[in-house]
Chain A
Amino acid sequence: MRAYVIKRVFGMIPTLILISGLIFIVIQLPPGDIVTSTLDRMQSQGLEVSTEAVANLRAQYNLDQPLLIQYVRWIGGFLVGDMGYSYLFTRPVSELVWERLGYTLMITVSSLIFTWAIAIPAGIYSAVRQYSFGDYLITTIMLVGLATPSFLLALMAMYAGYEFFGISIGGLFSPEYRDAPWSFGRLLDFLSHLWIPMVVLGLGGTASTMRILRANLLDELSKPYVVTARAKGVKPMKLLFKYPLRIAINPFISTIGLLMPALISGEAIVSIVLGLPTIGPALIQALIAQDMYLAGSFLMLLAVLTVLGMLLSDLLLAWADPRIRYE
């Protein structure tokens, strides 16, 4: 087991290097750079900019260096927590990132839990009572959930929250708590706002997760070892939980790794619609303003999050499935 963990953890390193290279290429793609867009802005305001100032700016952002050096500086700074400076927010990127990352994580993790809390029982019921009325009902709801764009769901949730529950729309806090220090009241306020993004985000994931579990379970239900256990006289409920479900849950665990990118993707757009102070809305602002250091850092963090999610799911899988552990 230990060897597997070590192998898996160190296996992340080349992946992360590749990802960072990819992100660096992506943020280099747009024509022009911060300096040219800053210049455009200043010139449109009628300001004269000396060539010296331009050169200074370029040096400040390392733009006068070859690309490889720029990359190494960027990723090196990233490792020590220096992510550059956002001219869009006129603050160091790292400050911006940390406060938003927390909310992103909270929303993602809570919707992951929500997803499981719904998907696991629904998937089991649907597989065991295949073709029953309940099965059709669940699969229909899930299908609609899967097909509805998350921003549409977010809009509808906002509408429902306002119309039926009288909750203020959007954001993670009511106005009176927005800038207040953490307190019990603020926490309650936070939780009452958290459920909308949680449900909206979770619903899309729930559908796919449930389908996977249902399909796995149906596959396992017809396996010989289930018949053996039945022939042994194991009681039906125990049989279901101990044998097919125990195995069906394995590939299910590995989908956590795939659920993470999906959730983080969804989180970005849902946050934009709901106006949440997470990474998503800031990322799109940064992209539109071509604040590429900021955008690059956000992308890198999101990628690191998903890679960590995959690592976690692989380790969980190894813990759950002796066949992998013993390889």
Chain B
Amino acid sequence: MADNLLEIRDLAVEFGTDIGTTHALREVSFDVLRGKVTAIVGESGSGKSVTANCIMRLIQPPGRITGGKIHFSPNDAPAYDIAALPNKDPRLLDLRGGSVSMVFQEPMTALSPVYTVGNQVAEAILCHRNVSKEEAFEEAADMLRRVGIDNVDRRIQQYPFEFSGGMRQRVVIAMALVCHPQLLICDEPTTALDVTIQAEILTLIRDLQKDLKNSVLFITHDLGVVAQMADQVVVMYQGRVLEVGSVRQVLKTPVHPYTRGLLAAIPGLATKGARLATIASVVGDADLTTPHPLMTLADGRQVSLSSAQLADLELTDD
């Protein structure tokens, strides 16, 4: 069994718009480690969510995958390339909600308002396993209990609009985990929630991950959350990967000027009273628009820099 659950190589996605083609992803390459939490950070429009949607093949026209590979090595089945699956391949239905599942940003709209919570959680089981409705509901109830919902016997028959935002996100997490996926993708799962609820949900995801030993791909723009959750970090900007490394490497000693910019833009106690740094002021006149190939450094991390910048880097390292 390979160490990497997913190996994404040179993934490219384009969206056709009214006024031209937008390259949402270009040459995106990184690995998702088995049993670990990988985080993707980046600002809005950096391609984080598009990457996640690619893994589940949820990209809809006018968007399309125009190149690259998503090499998936499940625990219990032969490896295959998700990006190359035909639209009608039965493996696609197994993949979605079976071996990979997803928690979305907006718990308020991620559930259909006209079906009960129980119905929607149990449906995930019924889609992937041949069990009776009663068994499915029972398992759904177990999972709902596990994500911290009280009074499950009553709550399971209620509609999503009778739940608060935080509770709804727990339901969505239960729905995602109920089939024991090997990879859980969390697409900014706490952005739409109150700060106190955010912490609860993050702890829940982390605890469940330790319990179930699944891999997590965690998408966020919040470096604090990255520090709390992740083992490995992928920094994205404008559809490209700029830096990949362990949490310690990326947060303590960032190499790429953009990553440094991101870190400098976090408000902290030390910066009290001072003007907050903008990314631009840290990045300076460094050119972020020209793509450079990802280079692996001596310590194992990968970074996308020009050869001149790489040369500079080695000098400062010495």
Direct contact of A and B (CB under 8 A): yes
Q: Is the CB of B58 within 8 A of A230?
A: yes
Query: What sequence of 0s and 1s flags, for each residue 90-103 of chain B, a beta carbon within 8 Å of any chain A beta carbon?
Result: 00011111100110
Within 8 A of A (CB), among B55-69: 56, 58
B52 and chain A: residue at smallest CB distance: A231
A233 adjacent to B114 (CB under 8 Å): no
Task: Report the nearest B residue to A223, measured CB to CB.
Answer: B109
**A contact residues around B124 at 8 Å (CB):** 232-233
Quick check: is A39 within 8 A (CB to CB) of the other chain? no
- Contacting residues of chain B (128-149) with chain A, CB-CB under 8 angstroms: 128
| CB closest chain-A residue, reference B53 | A227
With contact pairs A231-B102, A232-B101 given, residues A224 and B127 touching in the complex (Cβ less than 8 Å): no
Q: Are A232 and B104 in contact (CB under 8 A)?
A: no
Q: Are B94 and A233 in contact (CB under 8 A)?
A: yes
Check B114–A247 contact: CB distance below 8 A. Answer: yes
List, in ascending order, chain A residues with CB within 8 A of B97's CB: 231-234
Q: Which among A225, A231, A323 is the interface contact of B101 at CB below 8 angstroms?
A: A231
* Contact A323 B161, beta carbon cutoff 8 Å: yes
Interface residues of A in 222-259 (CB under 8 A from B): 223-225, 227-235, 242-243, 246-247, 250
- Least CB distance, B72 to chain A, in whole angstroms: 15
Q: Are B109 and A232 in contact (CB under 8 A)?
A: no
Determine the chain A residues whose CB is within 8 A of the CB of B127 once the complex forms: 232-235
Q: Does B300 contact A (CB under 8 A)?
A: no
A246 CA to B127 CA, complexed, in Å: 19
Check: A32 CB closer than 8 A to any chain B CB.
no
Q: Given the complex, which residues of B lie within 8 Å of A227, measured CB to CB?
A: 58, 104, 110
A322–B93 touching, CB < 8 Å: no
Say whether B111 contacts A225, CB under 8 Å. Answer: yes
Q: Contacts A231-B96, A234-B127 known; A225 to B110 CB distance under 8 Å?
A: yes
Q: Are B112 and A322 closer than 8 Å at their CB atoms?
A: no
Interface members, chain B 156-204 (any A CB < 8 Å): 159, 161-162, 172, 175
Closest to A246 in B: B114
Are A243 and B159 within 8 A (Cβ)?
Answer: no
How many angstroms from the CA of A326 to the CA of B162 in the assembled complex? Answer: 10
A189 in the interface (beta carbon within 8 A): no
Cα(A326)–Cα(B159), bound, Å: 10
Output the nearest chain A residue to B185 by Cβ-Cβ distance.
A231
Cβ contacts under 8 Å, A234 to chain B: 97, 123, 127
Residues of A within 8 A of B175 (CB): 228, 232
- Within the complex, the shortest CB–CB distance from A248 to chain B, in Å, comes to 11
Give the chain B neighbours of A228 by CB distance below 8 A: 102, 104, 110-111, 172, 175
Contact B112 A323 (CB under 8 A): no
Q: Are A224 and B123 in contact (CB under 8 A)?
A: no
A323 touches B93 (CB 8 A): no
Q: Is A321 an interface residue (CB 8 A)?
A: yes
**Closest partner residue, chain A, to B111 (CB atom):** A225
A235 contacts B93, C-beta separation under 8 Å: yes
Distance in Å: Cβ of A31 to nearest Cβ of chain B: 55
Bound-state CA distance A227–B128 (Å) is 17
Nearest 9 A/B pairs, CB to CB: A233-B97, A232-B97, A233-B96, A224-B109, A228-B110, A225-B112, A233-B127, A231-B102, A232-B124
Query: Can you identify 12 A-B contacts, CB atoms within 8 angstroms?
Result: A223-B109, A224-B104, A228-B110, A231-B56, A231-B58, A231-B97, A232-B124, A233-B97, A233-B124, A234-B127, A242-B115, A323-B161
